[in-house]
């Protein structure tokens, strides 16, 4: 057990979210003494306000959809409504169980947790409530917060963030979702399933704009079918709260009335007022700058997770935390390959991807050097059984490895794990083509796309 009063510990971590706690667990496992400073609850955004509670809502929403669609499958059922108190109790029970497990794990590894708001006071120390904790190394892992737009004030009642949305005690009648990224699309999906009238406003040309354009278009088709409205290439210009909700004005001159406005325009770094600037940590727009080993410009300080520029995903935070811990313990870990991090939007339909988009592949390898196959889920038995539609697109370098996999359809999030092995191990289509996928599963679509890329398509229509 680290005794900070007795001298410097090996590692002080500021922030106990996905990145911070993963670093703590791995460092302790490797025999380092660790102090973890957390002002709120261990587990951070992901466990309490992000991944886990949103996916619980999405699961409950899926059950609503199943009930509505049950007759298609020969099952007669009656939908009697959504009881948000019970939905929230279920969601909280999942979060609570995982929180208990995490707290136990941290304790079992002998990590000292200091509860309180920490502040960086030197290249090797963090102060919490008057106590200065010295470490040979410091990891900054203070995460991110829901951003807004200039002049757009969040009142947490009618103009809300994702945190507020997770705490709603009712199903709203109508919502405008500002931002068609992952978080906006997931909430749009949940609320539509629950029966709300939903309109997404996105400034860029497509929903989930970081995804391959083909995936965005399939998601848009899926949302359109479900009655989720969206306005693309449309910028927000203002919002007024009314007795009934909000009136949202858009730069195209139109207005939208709704009960709620969810602001889902991205997440900014939690770095202001925490001593980073005073200690001399290099930052840009509040994000802490790091090299590929996650070191800041100060050799004794690393930064991980949502706080540094780049992908904001829990599993990236885990990987970065583990990486820094292993470096500090004298191991020689491989840096994170950010292109090959799997990404999932858990809406209905789901969007999952790993590797580069077709546009990036063409830019990187040359348009003539890239080949791709799209396998429509219409040809996949299990997808037909589930009545889901979508596609699997696999991109490869000609006579070379697979460099991108992009999928849309229900449950494709579960398929991305195989896809990330393929891209990370730089498998060739022919390597994957000879591997047998179980029938009937959705994974066969991935196998079929590789068979086609390897020149031996099976169930693929031209
Ligand atoms: C609605 C939503 C849904 C999401 N869904 C997914 C998903 O499905 N999959 C996925 O991979 N990612 C998802 N994410 C992203 C994921 O939650 C984040 O990428 C991840 O939590 C980042 O981890 P982190 O450790 O960098 O920061 P955080 O998890 O934000 O943790 C930072 C911690 O630092 C603490 N802290 C901050 N300042 C101080 C201080 N001064 N002193 C002490 N403690 C401090 C905070 O209390 C917090 O606990 C979602 C995010 C949101 C908002």
Q: What is the pLDDT of residues 213-263, one digit of tens each?
A: 999 999 999 999 999 999 999 999 999 999 999 999 999 999 999 999 999
What's the CA gap between 268 and 273, in Å, rounded?
A: 14
Indicate the SS3 state at residue 285: coil
Altogether, the residues listed in the chain come to a count of 462
Find residue 406's DSSP bridge partners.
353, 393
Query: Is the domain of 136 the same as that of 45?
Result: yes
- 68, 156, 244, 439: the active-site residue: 439
The residues, ordered by sequence, that sit 6+ positions from 455 with a Cβ below 8 Å of its Cβ are none
462 pLDDT above the threshold of 90 = no
Ligand 1 midpoint to CA 39 (Å) = 13
The residues, ordered by sequence, that sit 6+ positions from 336 with a Cβ below 8 Å of its Cβ are 292, 316, 319, 320, 323
161 Cβ inside 6 Å of ligand 1: no
What percentage of the chain reaches a pLDDT higher than 70? 98
Q: What is the pLDDT of residues 352-396, one digit of tens each?
A: 999 999 999 999 999 999 999 999 999 999 999 999 999 999 999
pLDDT given for residue 6 in this prediction: 54
Active site annotation includes 156:
no
Query: Is the domain of 246 the same as that of 288?
Result: no
Q: Of 230, 265, 300, which residue is a domain's last? A: 265
CA dihedral 356, 358, 362, 363 (to 10 degrees): -60
Query: Is the domain of 240 the same as that of 287?
Result: no
Residue nearest to atom 49 of ligand 1 (CA): 44
Query: Is the domain of 260 the same as that of 173?
Result: yes
What percentage of the chain reaches a pLDDT higher than 90? 97
Establish if 245 belongs to a structural domain: yes
What residues make up the domain containing 375?
349-453
What's the CA gap between 314 and 272, in Å, rounded?
A: 22
Provide the number of structural domains found in the chain: 3
347 Cβ inside 6 Å of ligand 1: no
The domain spanning residue 209 has which CATH number? 3.50.50.60
Sign of CA dihedral 277, 327, 52, 258: positive
Q: What is the pLDDT of residues 90-130, one digit of tens each?
A: 999 999 999 999 999 999 999 999 999 999 999 999 999 99
Query: Is the domain of 21 the same as that of 120?
Result: yes
Per-residue pLDDT band for 7 (boundaries 50, 70, 90) equals confident
What's the CA gap between 250 and 252, in Å, rounded?
A: 5
373 Cβ inside 6 Å of ligand 1: no
Give how far Cα 176 sits from Cα of 100, 179, 250, 431, Å. Answer: 35, 9, 11, 46
Establish if 459 belongs to a structural domain: no
Q: What strand order describes the sheet that includes 391-397? A: 343-345, 350-355, 402-409, 391-397, 370-376
Residue nearest to atom 34 of ligand 1 (CA): 15
Terminal Cα-to-Cα distance of the chain (whole angstroms):
64
The domain spanning residue 394 has which CATH number? 3.30.390.30
Find residue 428's DSSP bridge partners.
none
């Amino acid at each position: 057990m680290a005794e900070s009063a007795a001298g410097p510990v090996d590692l002080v971590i500021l922030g106990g979210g996905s990145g911070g706690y993963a670093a703590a667990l791995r460092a302790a496992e490797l025999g380092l003494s660790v102090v973890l400073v957390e002002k709120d609850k261990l587990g951070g955004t992901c466990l309490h306000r992000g991944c886990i509670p949103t996916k619980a809502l999405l699961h409950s929403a899926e059950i609503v959809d199943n009930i509505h669609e049950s007759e298609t499958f020969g099952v007669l059922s009656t939908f009697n409504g959504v009881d948000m108190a019970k939905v929230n109790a279920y969601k909280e029970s999942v979060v609570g169980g995982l929180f208990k497990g995490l707290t136990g794990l941290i304790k079992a590894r002998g990590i000292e947790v200091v509860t309180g708001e920490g502040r960086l006071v030197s290249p090797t120390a963090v102060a919490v409530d008057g106590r200065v904790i010295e470490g040979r190394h410091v990891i900054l892992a203070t995460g991110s917060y829901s951003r807004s737009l200039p002049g757009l004030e969040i009142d947490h009642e009618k103009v809300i963030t994702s945190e507020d949305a997770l705490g709603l005690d009712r199903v709203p009648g109508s919502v405008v979702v500002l931002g068609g990224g992952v978080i906006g699309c997931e909430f749009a999906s949940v609320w539509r399933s629950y029966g709300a009238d939903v309109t997404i406003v996105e400034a860029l040309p497509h929903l989930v704009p970081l995804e391959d354009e083909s995936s965005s278009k399939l998601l848009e088709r899926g949302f359109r079918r479900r009655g989720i409205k969206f306005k693309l290439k449309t910028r927000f210009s203002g919002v007024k709260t009314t007795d009934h909700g909000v009136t949202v004005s858009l730069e195209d001159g139109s207005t939208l009335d709704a009960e709620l406005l969810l602001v889902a325009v991205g997440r900014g770094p939690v770095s202001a007022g925490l001593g980073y600037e005073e200690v001399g940590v290099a930052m840009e727009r509040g994000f802490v700058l790091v090299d590929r080993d996650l070191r800041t410009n100060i050799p004794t300080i690393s930064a991980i997770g949502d706080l540094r520029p780049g992908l904001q995903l829990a599993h990236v935070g885990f990987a970065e935390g583990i990486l820094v811990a292993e470096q500090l313990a004298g191991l020689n870990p491989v840096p994170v390959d950010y292109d090959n991090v799997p990404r999932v939007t858990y809406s209905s339909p789901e969007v999952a991807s790993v590797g580069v988009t077709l546009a990036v592949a063409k830019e990187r390898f040359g348009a003539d050097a890239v080949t791709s196959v799209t396998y429509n889920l219409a040809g996949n038995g299990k997808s037909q059984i589930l009545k889901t539609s979508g596609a699997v697109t696999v991109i490869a370098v000609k006579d070379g490895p697979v460099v991108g996999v992009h999928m849309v359809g229900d449950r494709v999030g579960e398929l991305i794990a195989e896809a990330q092995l393929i891209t990370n191990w730089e498998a060739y289509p022919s390597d994957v083509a000879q591997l047998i996928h179980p029938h009937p599963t959705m994974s066969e679509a991935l196998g079929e796309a590789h068979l086609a890329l390897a020149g031996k398509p099976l169930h693929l229509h031209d």
